[in-house]
Amino acid sequence: MRAIVITRNGGPEVLEASERPAPEPGPGEVLIDVAAAGVNFIDVYFRTGAYPQETPYTPGVEAAGTVAAVGEGVGEFSVGDRVAWANVQGGYAEKAVVPADKVVPVPEGVGLEDAAASLLQGMTAHYLTRATYPVREGDTVLVHAAAGGMGLLLTQAAKALGARVLATASTPEKEKLAKDAGADVTMGYDGFAARVRELTGGEGVAVVYDGVGAPTFDGSLESLRRRGTLALYGAAGGPVPPFDPQRLNRAGSVFLTRPSLGHYVEERGELLERAADVYAWVESGAVKVHVGRRYDLAEAAGAHADLEARRSTGKLLLIP
């Protein structure tokens, strides 16, 4: 089978396609024929070594496909079932072995490409807007990088809960995508904190959903209302340097959290609940999945390069 194998940390060039022996599922595992794999910034963090990962390995922590075989003791899934997973490496391949307790069913009304494009980021949008800071009707929120796959889903999830969404994007074309997803006001990054204050009558927003990191962090703090929440869920623009916690006091006794999906789906029941909610959104049309581009498996390096250079919009998929 074809698979991407990373043997060393580095740039996109370390994503090398090769022929590998087809894997076999062990006890408690399922073998999945991969239909599509999501390309996410967390894949970049692993590739560069920002997140440690023993090499060699096949990257890709989000994918969907069809069960090809089940290992001993697996009763929840059968050959032919349509499934997806997140937070387990191995998606950049034609076949992958995944622990059964990390796999979720895909409803018949959701295509496998949409299933792969929406699970990780959809569940992230779900926990951010329902648990990290539960959005209330009438809240004003700020979503950064709103034209990316994550930002588009976050915008729609917040709007569904009755929020007024202010959104940042790097180009007018990306601002239009955010608008089309439901953002009430869009803006560029230059001077966004002052613009947010102006739009909120000087009060600031209830929450900032910031997956950019260092370039936006200071402005995000300045955009918060008194006792607001900064949910720093990623660092696509680079990690935030160490800072004095007293800044949180000066900003209005605000809250800072650095959440990650793994802590919100650690229990099987919670994983199934969040995944079911996300796929219900997609199936009903309440949330629309925007696939910006599809790449052949051998083009994984190009997909990473486009993602890092912000040449992409929406979700990027690898199609084995």
What whole-number distance in Å separates Cα of residue 172 and Cα of residue 188?
8
What whole-number distance in Å separates Cα of residue 207 and Cα of residue 75?
42
pLDDT at 95: 98
CA dihedral 136, 139, 145, 148 (to 10 degrees): 40
Query: How buried is residue 191: exposed, middle or buried, by Cβ count under 10 Å (0-12/13-18/19+)?
Result: exposed
Which of 192-201, 209-218, 275-284, 308-317 has the lowest average pLDDT?
308-317
- Report CA 56 to chain centroid distance, whole Å: 24
Closest listed residue to residue 87, CA positions, set 59, 111, 67: 59
pTM: 0.94
pLDDT at 310: 85
pLDDT at 33: 98
DSSP state of 89: S
Assess contact for 161 and 141: CB atoms under 8 A: no
Over residues 192-220, the mean pLDDT reads 98
What the chain holds in terms of domains, given with CATH numbers, is 2-119+268-319 (3.90.180.10), 136-258 (3.40.50.720)
Q: 20-32, pLDDT tens digit by residue? A: 999 999 999 999 9
Phi, psi of 141 (to 5 degrees): -125, 155
Q: What mean pLDDT, rounded, does the chain reach?
A: 97
CA dihedral 215, 219, 223, 229 (to 10 degrees): 50
Q: 119-175, pLDDT tens digit by residue? A: 999 999 999 999 999 999 999 999 999 999 999 999 999 999 999 999 999 999 999
- 238-272 as b/e: b if 16+ CB within 10 A: eebeeeeeeebeebeebebeebebeebbeeeeebe
Largest Cα separation within the chain, whole Å, is: 61
The encoded tokens of residue 162 equal 């009755």
Mark residue 310 as left, alpha or beta (left: phi above 0; alpha: psi -120 to 50; beta: remaining).
left
Classified as helix, coil or strand, 138 is: coil
- First-to-last alpha carbon distance for the chain, in angstroms, is 10
62 or 311, greater pLDDT: 62
Q: 69-118, pLDDT tens digit by residue? A: 999 999 999 999 999 999 999 999 999 999 999 999 999 999 999 999 99
Q: Is a pLDDT exceeding 90 seen at residue 186? A: yes
**If pLDDT is split at 50, 70 and 90, which confidence band does 10 have?**
very high
Q: 227-282, pLDDT tens digit by residue? A: 999 999 999 999 999 999 999 999 999 999 999 999 999 999 999 999 999 999 99
Assess contact for 184 and 175: CB atoms under 8 A: no
